[in-house]
């Protein structure tokens, strides 16, 4: 079984019109596309900040029966810190 490292780039708390609260996640695919990411209710350790999650390949799948695909995660093995590097040094002295 292969381990996948999924980069969660956006963690956004949302409140619906009827007052229900949930957290929306966006992930980055290997070819640079942004995809919605959802976790099953029984997942214990979900990220609270942008980070990298490590999951087994058989514990996640991509649902394509909607207008936009959604990554569903069933179990998170670990969460790693995502450090965004500034590339401003490449452009300025």
- Residue ranges and CATH numbers for the domains of the chain are 3-82 (2.40.50)
Confidence of residue 25 (pLDDT cuts 50, 70, 90): very high
19: CB partners within 8 A, 6+ apart: none
More confident position, 83 or 19: 19
d(CA 93, CA 12): 35
What's the pLDDT tens digit per position in 43-61? Answer: 999 999 999 999 999 999 9
Q: Which two tokens stand for residue 68?
A: 């936009």
On the question of pLDDT at 87 being above 70, the answer is no
């Amino acid at each position: 079984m292969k381990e996948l490292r999924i980069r969660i780039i956006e963690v956004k708390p949302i409140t619906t019109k009827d007052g229900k609260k949930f957290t929306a996640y966006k992930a980055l695919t290997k070819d640079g596309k942004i995809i919605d990411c959802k976790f099953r209710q029984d997942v214990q350790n979900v990220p609270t900040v942008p980070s990298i999650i490590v999951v087994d390949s058989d514990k996640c799948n991509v649902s394509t029966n909607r207008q936009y695909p959604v990554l569903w995660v069933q179990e998170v093995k670990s969460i790693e810190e995502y450090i965004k590097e500034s590339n401003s040094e490449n452009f300025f002295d």
